């Protein structure tokens, strides 16, 4: 079949078009009182296992109807969401931290294929259910009702309504700003030379590695794990890294693949809201470091916590917490 090419150079066939780095189809978020089961922001390993499980379950199933109860969830009007009716699901893939659902031809009035690009933001979940949601369900954002009676549902916990979806025509996904501006995928890891270019910036490693324009797929949880694995300070500037430190950072990206291997063993057909994340340090401040036994410390920001080992990552220094001081020394 004729291949296509994404902005990052990935070649794809029509069977697995539009997904990077690969499409695999196999046969504190909101407040705890509102979200008792939600654990983390979905990142590359969590989105990858979700798309694998959904793809295996939904490939070839025809759409009966689709609607968007979430007032601001659907960010497109042409083609309309109703155009999904009668189309088969061809596959479900991932670009960075964003799931993409591919629909084949056969819908109302349109012969071309369509893609639904989804951004889960901090509290969204994409799951399939045996029964259909009530339209009064406040967590429902997009409902894709299937001919076999099941429902593919984009839900969002909390009240902020940040999760969104955009229905695009064949070949348009790679032109979307959220996709076109992505950096290389964090897993499989880019080569060492590419990573060295990415991190050669006068920016702290922690926010830089979470910047999807620099490298795609890493978020608040796994950046702590990667930097701990590499024994690097979250607040060291990328441009100050020695070549040996860049190599350690590159090697540490294996934790993303390790997490995915863990999920393959631990998660069955339905991905739960709360995944069994194999975290060693993230949000474990006050506990002993798994390697050296030093008490893990943390710096709290408005929307996330940076956890680190003072002995192995910051030369024995416990950094000032932003809850007490806005200065890091």
| CA distance from start to end of the chain | 57
Other CB atoms within a 10 A radius of the CB of residue 41 amount to 20
Residue 19 gets which letter from DSSP?
A: -
Q: What domains lie within the chain, and their CATH numbers? A: 4-180 (3.20.190.10), 192-252+280-313 (1.10.8.50)
Q: What is the pLDDT of residue 174?
A: 96
Q: What is the largest CA-CA distance in the chain?
A: 65
Tell me the C-alpha distance between 127 and 129, whole Å.
7
pLDDT, block means (10 residues), the chain with 329 residues: 36 39 36 41 95 97 93 90 96 97 81 93 92 86 96 87 93 96 97 98 97 97 98 98 98 98 95 92 97 96 90 93 53
Q: What is the pLDDT of residue 137?
A: 84
């Amino acid at each position: 079949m004729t291949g296509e090419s994404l902005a990052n150079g990935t070649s794809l066939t029509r069977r697995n078009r539009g997904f990077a780095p690969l499409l695999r189809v196999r046969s504190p978020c909101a407040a705890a009182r509102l979200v008792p089961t939600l654990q983390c922001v979905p990142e590359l390993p969590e989105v990858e296992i979700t798309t694998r499980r959904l793809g295996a379950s939904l490939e070839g199933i025809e759409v009966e109807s689709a609607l968007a109860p979430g007032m601001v969830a659907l960010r497109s009007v042409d083609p309309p969401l109703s155009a999904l009716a009668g189309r088969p699901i061809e596959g479900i893939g991932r670009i960075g931290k964003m799931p993409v659902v591919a629909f084949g031809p056969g819908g109302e009035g349109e012969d071309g294929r369509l893609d639904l690009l989804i951004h889960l933001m901090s509290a969204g979940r994409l799951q399939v259910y045996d029964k259909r949601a009530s339209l009064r369900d406040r967590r429902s954002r997009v409902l894709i009702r299937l001919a076999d009676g099941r429902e593919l549902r984009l839900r969002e916990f909390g009240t902020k309504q940040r999760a969104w979806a955009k229905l695009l025509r064949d070949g348009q996904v790679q032109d979307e700003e959220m996709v076109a501006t992505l950096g290389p995928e964090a897993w499989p890891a880019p080569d060492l030379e590419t990573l060295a270019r990415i991190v050669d910036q006068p920016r702290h490693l922690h926010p830089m590695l979470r910047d999807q324009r620099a490298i795609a797929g890493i978020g608040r949880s796994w950046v702590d794990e990667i930097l701990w694995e590499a024994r690097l300070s979250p607040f060291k500037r990328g441009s100050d890294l020695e070549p040996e430190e860049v190599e350690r950072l590159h090697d540490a990206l294996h934790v993303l693949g390790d997490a995915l291997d863990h999920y393959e063993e631990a998660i069955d057909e339905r991905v739960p809201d709360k995944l069994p994340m194999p975290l060693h340090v993230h949000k474990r401040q006050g506990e002993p470091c798994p390697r050296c036994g030093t008490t893990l410390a943390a710096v709290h920001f408005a929307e996330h916590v940076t956890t680190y080992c003072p002995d192995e990552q910051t030369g024995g220094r416990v950094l000032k917490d932003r809850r007490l001081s806005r200065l890091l020394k």
